[in-house]
Structure 1
Amino acid sequence: MTITPVALALISTGAGLLGSVIGTVATLMSASLTQRATRDRESEFKVWERRAEAIEEAHRKMIALGNTRDLAWARRELPSGMSPQDLDPGHQDEQFRLVVTKLTLYTTPELVQAYRDSNQAFLRSLLGIQRIQLALTERGPESDRPRRQRNIDAAVAIATEAIEKSKAADERLEAALREAAALAATRRRR
Structure 2
Amino acid sequence: MTITPVVAGLIGTVIGAVASLAASVLTQRATNAREREHRLWERRADALEEIHRFAFARSRARPMVLSSRRLPDDWDPGRPQEPVRLLETRVALYAPRAISEAHKEWGKTIIGFVVAVASYQHEVDRLANSSEPEGAQVLIEAAWALAEHRSREWEQAEGRLFDALRDASTLRTEQRWRLRR
Using structure 2 for the length normalisation, give the TM-score.
0.78
1:117 aligns with 2:105: yes
Aligned positions, number: 174
Task: Choose 1 or 2 for highest CA Rg.
Answer: 1
Q: Using the TM superposition, give the Cα deviation of residue 16 of structure 1 relative to its aligned residue in structure 2, in angstroms.
A: 2.3
Unaligned runs of 5+ in 2: none
Q: Structure 2: how far apart are the matches of 1:12 and 1:167?
A: 82
- Measured in 1, the distance between the counterparts of 2:50 and 2:74 equals 23
Within 1, Cα distance between the matches of 2:89 and 2:66? 30
Contact 2:70–2:117 (CA under 8 A) maintained in structure 1? yes
The structure in which a higher percent of residues are helix is 1
For residues 42 and 81 of structure 1, do their structure 2 counterparts lie closer, same or farther at Cα, with a shift above 3 Å needed? closer
Residue of structure 2 in register with 1:89 after alignment: none
Question: CA 1:65/1:81 → structure 2, altered by over 3 Å: closer, same or farther?
Answer: closer
Structure 1 counterpart of 2:152: 164
**Corresponding residue for 2:16?**
23
Show CA shifts across 1:42-76 (max 9, x none): 11100111111111112211112222222211211
Q: Is contact 1:69–1:122 with CA below 8 Å preserved after alignment? A: no
Say which of 117, 136, 161 aligns to 1:129: 117
Q: TM-score, normalised by structure 1?
A: 0.75
Match of 1:60 among 49, 53, 56: 53
Give the aligned CA root-mean-square deviation in angstroms. Answer: 3.0
2:87 corresponds to:
99
Aligned-pair identity in percent equals: 33
